[in-house]
Amino acid sequence: MFDTLSTRLDDIFTRLRARGRLNEKQVDEVLREIRLALLEADVSLKVVKAFVADVRERAAGAEIHKSLTPAQQVIKIVHEALIDILGREHVGLEHPQRPPRILLIAGLQGSGKTTAAAKLANMLKKQGRRPLLVAADLRRPAAIRQLQLLGEQVKVPVYAEADHQDAASLAGRALKHATEEHHTDLIVDTAGRMHVDADLMAELGAVARAVDPTETLLVCDAMTGQDAVNVAQSFLEEVDLSGIILTKLDGDARGGAALSMTYVTERPIKFAGIGEKLGDLEPFHPDRMASRILGMGDVLTLIEKAEQAFDEEQAVEMQEKMLRADFTFEDFLGQMQALKKMGPISSMLGMLPGMSKMPISGDEIDREMPKVEAIIRSMTARERNDPSLLNGSRRKRIARGAGATVQDVNKLVKQFGEVRKMMKMMGGGGKGKGKMKLPPGMKLPPGLGL
């Protein structure tokens, strides 16, 4: 829907033919773009204003890096400023003076508290700890049942009371129980509440006083808009927040709320929910979030996953093959297998900048991959290594073998040819002007050097 920030900044600089140090007018124009990018990413207006002022100051005093273009310089400054707010690195859970560690989970309705609580329990259990979940959401119909079912799934016991009235005293009894049973962690799931609901906010305060939590974690939906500041402020006033869990990051929201929340509360985002399965909770990575908010994708996560999926020697060999442009269907098949190890394409595309604009979704690619595989597997070894052999009758045979149409085979062979051409450009031309032909809407991550 929107151009990425880096594209737009590049446009400005091309227009201004800027060289070297930024002048004030350029800074102004750049800052306007940054303001827009942040607002489009749902960062709260107040936070945007403060942030832009900060960046202006930094830009004024910035040293000039010879190796960076002005656009890259500004992005670097913005990125740094973002990370200063979001945090330098992942912050884990605090350790209590004495066990159990008490985690109080709070948030608005529908932010994902119960799921986050179960995911936390699952994570702690996998670390060899003995967590206990506490069903202190006494308001939402069947909330207790939901937690009990999730507890069963992750094999973590759930403390619940049939006759329940008062969340605070229930939490107190749960704590006593946990201490007696030598649980290492107590995870208290509370009712979702509107931050303007004075009674419910008071109840949350009472629960907190009853258990004196090691951590009070605010659960926040990554899709939240401008209201994030109000929510964060209100919860901060009522309880001693220690951190944030950002949920539903597997959607395509840019997640500006993350910035608003950390800015207002000065508390780190500790975990991110990235899917519906109970294993889908990740340590939060500020640098990746910074890129996401700026619309620059999450290239780091992708690199990490790729490193796990491809072995190094193979990668070096592949690099050489690609540069020499003798990439064969056999190689393609091998790389596809490695790619599959990185997880569904749909989740990978989300990490690449500009991919959301593509005319097809990752899921479609995921669905079509078996067909591509089948086509390649229906080729003989010779055909795989020398696609020029593929004449009409061979293509017909391949299509029959793969349960595909000849058109499918043609398309694949044609596409493969284009990829090879592209590689030739990368390898042969090197710094040449030849532009890669990318699918519409796709933009390569900055700094890929392709």
Smallest distance, Å, CB 183 to another protein? 22
Q: Figure out which of the listed residues 358, 399, 402, 425 binds another protein, where binding follows CB under 8 A.
A: 358
Q: Which is nearer to another protein, 69 or 346 (CB)?
A: 346
CA distances from 350 to 5, 13, 64, 298, 344 (A): 16, 27, 33, 8, 11
Contact status, residue 175 vs residue 208, Cβ threshold 8 Å: no
Q: Which is nearer to another protein, 22 or 231 (CB)?
A: 231
Q: Is 280 in the site for another protein (CB under 8 A)?
A: no
Stretch that binds another protein, among 12-20, 94-102, 107-115, 284-292 (CB under 8 A): 107-115
Q: Figure out which of the listed residues 182, 364, 381, 396 binds another protein, where binding follows CB under 8 A.
A: 364
Identify the three-state secondary structure at position 80.
helix
Q: Taking CB under 8 A as the criterion, which residues in 215-254 touch another protein?
A: 221, 223-228, 230-231, 248, 250-254
Q: Figure out which of the listed residues 34, 103, 105, 108 binds another protein, where binding follows CB under 8 A.
A: 108
CA distances from 55 to 51, 75, 77, 162, 285 (A): 6, 10, 7, 54, 21
Smallest distance, Å, CB 210 to another protein? 23
Smallest distance, Å, CB 352 to another protein? 8
Smallest distance, Å, CB 368 to another protein? 5
DSSP type of residue 44: -
Closest CA relative to residue 132, chosen from 163, 99, 97:
99
β partners of residue 273 = 281
Q: Figure out which of the listed residues 350, 384, 402, 425 binds another protein, where binding follows CB under 8 A.
A: 350
Smallest distance, Å, CB 339 to another protein? 5
Closest CA relative to residue 135, chosen from 178, 179, 187, 100:
187
Alpha-carbon gap, residue 178 to 151, rounded angstroms: 15
Q: Taking CB under 8 A as the criterion, which residues in 289-348 touch another protein?
A: 299, 302-303, 306-307, 309-310, 312, 315-316, 318-319, 322, 327, 332, 335-336, 338-339, 342, 345-346, 348
Contact status, residue 226 vs residue 45, Cβ threshold 8 Å: yes
Alpha-carbon gap, residue 190 to 363, rounded angstroms: 35
Strands 185-190 and 158-159: unpaired
Smallest distance, Å, CB 63 to another protein? 26
Q: Figure out which of the listed residues 21, 25, 95, 145 binds another protein, where binding follows CB under 8 A.
A: 145
